[in-house]
């Protein structure tokens, strides 16, 4: 009967090679056993670069400890706590997070959020709210009226107030 200790191990990340196609790690396992180049299998579409000190679960198929694989890496130091059942989150050690919450609410917290879209960014919502200013290098068009190139009707000379902006005439 094979010893379970030879099949599964718990360890701590020492170094990560995130540049290779299959991420490699140096891991300190139980009894101070250090393994270099252990492959970290990640779920399709998801990747991370665990910090030194993160914990891993490693498997040694057939009990052969010369080549193990890491199938799970986690870091309790930064894990979000107190989430409700069914919630999902991505997070970093710096406090950034994307939290898919109950009642179909998604919260994103970061210092700077960059979105790069070659064609467009679309919002299909009845209302957009902001607590800060909106800064743009180009024109804004609302209800068909250009902020930079609109005209006014009922224009009067002097210090009188003109009418509402009107859409540019084509």
Is 27:39 a contact under the CB 8 Å cutoff? Answer: no
Q: Is residue 17 packed enough to be buried (19+ CB in 10 Å), middle (13-18) or exposed (0-12)? A: middle
Domain at 63, CATH number: 2.40.50
Q: Select the more confidently predicted residue: 99 or 62.
A: 99
Answer yes or no: is 128 within a domain: no
Answer yes or no: is 102 within a domain: yes
Answer yes or no: is 65 within a domain: yes
- pTM, 2 dp: 0.78
- Residue-number span of the structural domain to which 97 is assigned: 78-123
pLDDT category at 71 given cuts 50, 70, 90 is: very high
Backbone angles phi, psi at 11, to 5 degrees: -150, -175
User: Is there a single domain that holds both residue 31 and residue 68?
Assistant: yes
pLDDT category at 44 given cuts 50, 70, 90 is: very high
CA 73 to each of CA 12, 23, 41, 52, 62: distance values in angstroms, whole numbers, following the listed order: 9, 12, 10, 11, 21
pLDDT category at 59 given cuts 50, 70, 90 is: very high
pLDDT digits (tens, 9 = 90+) for 12-23: 999 999 999 999
* Tally: H helices and E strands in the chain: 1, 12
DSSP summary character for residue 154 = S
pLDDT digits (tens, 9 = 90+) for 153-164: 888 788 877 877
Is 56:9 a contact under the CB 8 Å cutoff? Answer: no
pLDDT category at 169 given cuts 50, 70, 90 is: low
């Amino acid at each position: 009967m094979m010893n379970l200790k030879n099949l599964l191990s718990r360890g701590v990340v020492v170094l990560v090679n995130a540049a290779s196609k299959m991420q490699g790690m140096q891991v300190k396992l139980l009894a101070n056993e250090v393994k270099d180049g252990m492959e970290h299998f990640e779920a399709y579409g998801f990747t991370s670069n665990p910090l030194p000190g993160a914990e891993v679960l490693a498997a040694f198929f057939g009990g052969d400890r010369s080549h193990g694989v890491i199938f799970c890496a986690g870091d309790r130091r930064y894990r979000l706590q107190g989430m409700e059942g069914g919630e999902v989150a991505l997070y970093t050690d710096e406090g950034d997070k994307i939290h898919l919450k109950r009642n179909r609410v998604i919260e994103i917290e970061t210092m700077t959020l960059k979105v790069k879209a070659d064609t467009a960014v679309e919002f299909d919502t009845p209302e957009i709210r902001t607590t800060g200013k909106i800064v743009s290098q180009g024109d804004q068009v609302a209800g068909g009226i250009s902020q930079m190139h609109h005209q006014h009707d009922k224009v009067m000379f002097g210090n009188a107030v003109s009418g509402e902006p009107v859409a540019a005439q084509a």
